[in-house]
Amino acid sequence: MTSCRSLTRVAIAASIALVSSVTFTSGFAQDAKPADAPLTALPYSPSLDQGSMDPSANACVDFYQYACGGWQQKHPIPADQSSWSVYGKLHDENLHYLWGLLNEVSAPRADRTPSEQKTGDYFAACMDEGVIDAAGAKPIEAALQRVAQLKSPKDAAGLIGWLHLTGTDNAMFRFGSDQDYADSAQVIPIADAGGLGLPDRDQYLKMDAKSKDIRRAYQAHVARMFELLGDSKETAAGNAIVVVAMETDLAKSSLTREEQRDPHKIYHRMSFAQLKKTAPHFDWATYFRALDVSTSQSINVTQPAFYKKLDRLLAKRSLADWKTYLRWKVVDAQAANLAKPFAQANFDFFSTKLRGVEKMPPRWKTCVRAVDRDLGEALGQVFAKRTFAPETKQRAADMTRAIEVAMEGRINNLDWMSAPTKKAALEKLHSLVNKIGYPEKWRDYSALEVKPGDFFGNVQRAQTFEARRELAKIGKPVDRSEWGMTPPTVNAYYNAQMNDINFPAGILQPPLFDPKMDDAPNFGNTGATIGHELTHGFDDEGRQFDARGNLRDWWTKKDADEFVKRTSCIVDQYSGYTVVDDVKINGKLTLGEDVADFGGTILAYVAWKATTAGQKLSDIDGFTPDQRFFIGMAQWACSNVRPETLRLQALTDPHSPSRYRVNGVVSNMPEFARAFSCKPGQPMVRDKVCKVW
């Protein structure tokens, strides 16, 4: 139950898993273990595993340790991972499985389907490291030459448009398409803040020792990249100073992640004329022509202050500075797709320095992920028939419906919400669309050319294909059948503007969804995941969108004030938890996910009780049904995380660490205290219980 947030806007989409990954439900082999070789069957792991527990721990003192202590002991973090979790392990096992499946179609043969040909040729080209390394920096020479030919900062618009279409999509700013917040049936252009290299704007501005150390290391990394491009050591060092200074200026005018959680702060609809007035030193007409986007469209300029700052930099900074900055953007965007020295340097900073990862993953793993990234629905189409049974889809649909019924009951019985707000909330609930497994209509990749032996070319053509596909939506009605995740993904999400919850095939498999288990752990695990996504429609962000996905206040003032008061309890609770060293959870940043964790677990519990009403439930392996529900709920979250990653997540991740996503929830639930006979005063029994949904 964590987040990928890979959709168009952070503010309108929320998801469940820290790992955005690829996997399928398929045949399971008991005790099979992934080695550095493809798997032909997926290992089976139960959704409730006694061996993952720590029987020496007291459930009422630290339930996470009680449920997951054994798992943590048995599963140290692999050298190529920033963390290791139930989700991460499932992701890794499925990468091994998909490796085998891609090997099958990577060999040329006459009977391959178009999807098999594209995914197979893409994978094979990615695996040919010899060709990739021999090319050095040659694949980005065309982009670097275009930067070198720039005549003035004001002439940069055409170049920026071309860069945005060819993979360097974070040069100066970001641009794309999105549903209109005021009219969710339509797609409009979105001009977003961007231009930074570090993961978060605060990393440029905070003055603590750790932040300063990161900035020094980042500047050294930028210099290293310039040296790989051929600059002398002295020139590279000077160029790095320029880049970091320019990015710092942009960071100062960028909204914080907390501020971006308020959709009103990132929705500023402007005409083309207003955009030109906001940043007159940028040739917007040339830029729009480069993207083939009409200037007649209204544009969501998410952060006007950012564009005003960018405009000042265009007027103030020299041509040489802008060329230096854009050279950096080109190599930074494509480093992972270039020869080993570039990929290694990129890994050393972004993975080792920022996240503590010890070594690069094997090449096959990188290439499986690349296929899912660039040809995800082709990959899903190739394997869906093998991997996702209709009965699994039906069982997931039934569970989802049970949880929706539970939510309806919760809304009707709320003692703090008035009738008008309840009516609007129920309208939104009843309008919710459930998407399970894979899209009804597969994405058409026929226009994307995949050439054998041309990895970088394939990557760049895929980047351009996706950029064009997104831009082509502008001015057209929203396609509500579209998915924001690929079918193989081990994740789930809610989209506030679509008002849909999405569960790809990848998440509906053991140990997250286990057909061999009784309902108690399944509802605790997958049921809480479904409830989590549903609750996102009614968290601090999602509640601001109506049943049709429009940004509209459907709350009475009294009810809205009461909601804020109740969620403030959760902010205060989670802000008291320590992430690592002296770093606390930012309860305002994690509020939406914390509310979803809490609400999702309550909904799953209520739905489980209703589903099993009238049944005689027996103890199993010494645990009562209620205990099995809560253990199942906790064991999705078993994990180990490197301290560097924890520190970065505290700054950038809208989810609390796994321990608190479990303990923070159960300590608010009297049902848990009864299940484990916890007494007042014990850590898992809060004196002040938070109640929202």
Give pTM, 2 decimals: 0.93
pLDDT at res. 373: 96
User: Would residue 332 show up in a list of annotated catalytic residues for this protein?
Assistant: no
- Domains of the chain by start residue, with CATH: 10-42+53-101+366-675 (3.40.390.10), 137-337 (1.10.1380.10)
pLDDT tens track for 262-317: 999 999 999 999 999 999 999 999 999 999 999 999 999 999 999 999 999 999 99
pLDDT tens track for 226-272: 999 999 999 999 999 999 999 999 999 999 999 999 999 999 999 99
pLDDT at res. 37: 86
Q: Locate tokens 């040659």: which residue?
A: 138
Which member of 62, 597, 626, 644 is catalytic?
597
Q: What angle do CA 236, 332, 218 make, to 5 degrees?
A: 60
Residue 61 has pLDDT above 90, yes or no: yes
User: Would residue 593 show up in a list of annotated catalytic residues for this protein?
Assistant: no
DSSP string, 380-405: HHHHHHHH--HHHHHHHHHHHHHHHH
pLDDT tens track for 67-105: 999 999 999 999 999 999 999 998 888 889 899 999 999
Residue 498 has pLDDT above 60, yes or no: yes
pLDDT tens track for 151-186: 999 899 999 999 999 999 999 999 999 999 999 999
Burial label for 179, CB within 10 Å (0-12, 13-18, 19+), is buried
If DSSP codes are grouped into helix, strand and coil, which group holds residue 472?
coil
Whole-angstrom distance, CA of residue 212 vs CA of residue 681? 41
Whole-angstrom distance, CA of residue 470 vs CA of residue 350? 27
pLDDT at res. 30: 40
Whole-angstrom distance, CA of residue 254 vs CA of residue 194? 8
pLDDT at res. 516: 85
Mean pLDDT of 479-499: 93
pLDDT at res. 215: 98
pLDDT tens track for 405-419: 999 999 999 999 999
Residue 600 has pLDDT above 50, yes or no: yes
Tokens of 305: 């202050």
pLDDT at res. 6: 27
pLDDT at res. 41: 73
Asked whether the bond before 511 is cis by omega within 30 degrees of 0, the reply is yes
pLDDT tens track for 342-371: 999 999 999 999 999 999 999 999 999 999
Whole-angstrom distance, CA of residue 395 vs CA of residue 220? 53
pLDDT at res. 74: 97
Q: Which of 92-96, 382-386, 414-418, 489-493 has the lowest mean pLDDT?
A: 382-386
Which member of 533, 593, 594, 644 is catalytic?
533
pLDDT at res. 24: 32
DSSP string, 260-304: HTSGGGG--EE-HHHHHHHSTTS-HHHHHHHHT--TTS-EEES-H
Our measurement of the distance from residue 470's CA atom to the centroid of its chain's CA atoms, rounded to an integer in Å, reads 18
Residue 210 has pLDDT above 70, yes or no: yes
Query: In percent, how much of the chain has pLDDT > 90?
Result: 87
Contact assessment for residue 657 and residue 585, using Cβ atoms and an 8 Å cutoff: yes
Contact assessment for residue 293 and residue 189, using Cβ atoms and an 8 Å cutoff: yes
Instruction: Categorize the per-residue pLDDT at 571 as very low, low, confident or very high, splitting at 50, 70 and 90.
Output: very high
pLDDT tens track for 431-461: 999 999 999 999 999 999 999 999 999 999 9
